[in-house]
Amino acid sequence: MKNAFLVLFTMAVTVVVMACSSTNKETSGASALSTLDAPSIEQSAEVDSVQADSVAMQEMNDSKDKIVVLDFYATWCGPCKAMAPTMEKMEKKYAGKVEFRKVDVDQEPELAAQYNIRGVPTIVVLSPGGEILDSMVGAQTEDELDKMFTMLL
């Protein structure tokens, strides 16, 4: 029963993400979001991307000494693009203490469903053992992220 629910939920999330993606792509030519000066998600590739396979998840959960920050984003998401430089600053500031991973919800719908992601950007913070410590939905300021990381470290 649980597996059937997970499959149905994953399918529903995929449909919603695809619908949002196609809607945004159709209007992106006239959208003010397309003119953002923020670097694209592809340009901020310094942060590792997560694959939804069990090897990558096991590798991520094996970080026994660091918390892990999963940055769920979409390439078409304006707030995600605007937040990318802030996440890069956080990665540099907390290097060695926090492991940052970017997760494209369009490429990894199963992982997004596993963490119950309903909107992007969403930040999920995992303990060194893989338990969810905190999460934030929507674009966050550097100060808001700094407060969260400081409290969790």
Structural domain contains residue 72? yes
Q: Which of 80, 90, 111, 126 is catalytic?
A: 80
Asked whether the predicted pLDDT for residue 100 surpasses 50, the reply is yes
Q: Which of 77, 83, 98, 125 is catalytic?
A: 77
The residues, ordered by sequence, that sit 6+ positions from 127 with a Cβ below 8 Å of its Cβ are 67, 133
pLDDT of amino acid 61: 52
Which segments of the chain are extended strands (E)? 48-49, 67-73, 98-104, 122-126, 132-137
For residue 17, what is the domain's CATH number?
Answer: 3.40.30.10
pLDDT of amino acid 65: 84
Domain extent at residue 133? 2-28+38-152
Structural domain contains residue 82? yes
pTM higher than 0.95 for the full model?
A: no
Structural domain contains residue 33? no
Burial class from Cβ neighbours inside 10 Å (0-12, 13-18, 19+) for residue 123 reads buried
Asked whether the predicted pLDDT for residue 27 surpasses 70, the reply is no
Structural domain contains residue 129? yes
Asked whether the predicted pLDDT for residue 58 surpasses 60, the reply is no
pLDDT of amino acid 49: 53
Q: Could you give the angle at which helices 78-93 and 142-152 cross, rounded to 10 degrees?
A: 50
20 among known catalytic residues: no
pLDDT of amino acid 44: 39
Q: How many domains does the chain have?
A: 1
Percent above pLDDT 90 for the chain: 54
